[in-house]
Chain A
Amino acid sequence: MWENVAEVREVAFHVTRFTPERDVKPRVQTFQVPVRAGMTVLEGLHYIKENLDSSLVWRYSCRMGVCGSCGMLLNGRPGLACNTQIFDIAGTDLTVGPLPNFDVVRDLIPDLVPMFSKHAGLRPHVVREDAADQDDPAGEYFQTPAQLEEFLQFTYCIKCACCMAACPTLATDAGYLGPMPLAQVQRYNVDTRDGGRGERLAAAGAAHGVFRCHYAGECSRVCPKGVDPAKAIQHLKRQLVLDYLHLARRQKPCAKQHGPGKGTRDPQIPASPPRTIGA
């Protein structure tokens, strides 16, 4: 598309500025940014901070689509500033705002605490009946590649909140659990090592849970990691209904295979180095 890699073109960044302690409402400030092919929105913001206005703030860390910090509203669509190339979405103008459906800490920084509270409340980790074993596992849990495949895509979630910003239900119902936490419910519920399914389903099926999802699918469309939270939510509805109708197939969490050092290693695989902690 942009054959002349050296070409530099000015793009007007219309950036939302807001300091809640000082401003009554957000305002939009425009910056002219020289953009070359391949430049990301994150780089554009750095250009502004270094050359035009050092007071602009946003959140980022890894700058490679891994940490989930830099979710923003880019030309009206939630996305990661670090893996969105400016010329892919903008010609001469680009609007950059904070993710909607969240309060704003400052400028482009959404307050993600409500999302993380919902997430943490759903026990997003493998739950075993034996608490002591959970804290210090004494063996491996067997899982086939096919069983892993059942939830693998949901593990790619980086908690960037783009899906939460795109969700029309969350726009009016702040109590709705939302696509990210619910996708993580599915991720652990179908994990054969897990025993926390009942507890998570009870929370997911409550008044502001999965049944508030209308399957518009915007969450899945905007996810920068290819996760499909909308699908997870429909699976959860199905699990809940089948449970209610007593049609669900029950399965116990898989058993431990053996204690450490008691398994037989494939001779092709070299021995692991000695433990450095807890030896």
Chain B
Amino acid sequence: MRETKYWTWFMAAGLLILALLGLHMVVMHLGSLTHLFAAHPDQPSVAQANSQARDASLFFTLSYVVLLGAGLFHGLYGLRVVVFELSLKPAAEKALSALLLVVGLGLFGLGTYAAFAAHGRAAGASPAVASVAGASLAGRS
């Protein structure tokens, strides 16, 4: 049952990555075409002002955190799969699972902290930016 649980969430994480990474690509890398979620359409999507505006929005902050979690789980589980196929001893399998869990949780904690710190800064430092971002979200999504 445990492997089924992992694999089910692994697949779900793959779908989440597909959706959120898709969003990321459309917003950041096709920004000059789409101008989606660009609070300052006159500036490039990846310009600091636009980036800060997205940081100020709770939606984007959460989407980063979810993407991070999905990416970490998907990638680390995938790594576990690959390494498990090298015929490890059960004790080594257990140790590897524990190590990956610690690494995953650590990186997730760090990334989540960074995302919320940026969110707090952007939202706090410039309420105007936040409200522009909010308006942009409401208006364009």
User: Which A residues contact B (CB, under 8 angstroms)?
Assistant: 169, 172-176, 202, 205-209, 211-212, 237, 240-241, 243-245
Contact = CB atoms under 8 A, between A and B. Distances in A.
Interface in B1-31: 1, 3-8, 11
Contact of B1 (A172, A176, A202): A202
B85 interface: yes
Give the interface size bracket for B toward A.
10 to 19
Interface in B83-139: 84-87, 93
Nearest to A239: B4
Nearest to A211: B7
State the 9 A-B residue pairs at the shortest beta-carbon distance, nearest first: A173-B85, A240-B4, A211-B7, A244-B4, A205-B4, A172-B85, A241-B8, A211-B3, A173-B87
A173 B1 contact: no
Contacts of A172: 85-87
Interface of chain B: mostly helix, strand, loop or mixed: helix
Contacts of B86: 172-173
B47 interface: no
B1 A212 contact: no
B81 A237 contact: no
Interface in B31-69: none
Contact of A245 (B8, B87, B93): B8
A68 B85 CA distance: 28
A237 B8 CA distance: 9
A206 B87 contact: no
A239 to B, nearest CB: 10
30 contacts: A172-B85, A172-B86, A172-B87, A173-B84, A173-B85, A173-B87, A175-B87, A205-B1, A205-B3, A206-B3, A207-B3, A207-B84, A207-B93, A208-B84, A209-B3, A211-B3, A211-B4, A211-B6, A211-B7, A211-B81, A212-B84, A237-B7, A240-B4, A241-B4, A241-B7, A241-B8, A241-B11, A243-B4, A244-B1, A244-B8
A169 B11 CA distance: 20
Contacts of A241: 4, 7-8, 11
A202 B2 CA distance: 10
Nearest to B90: A207
Nearest to A174: B87
A169 B7 CA distance: 17
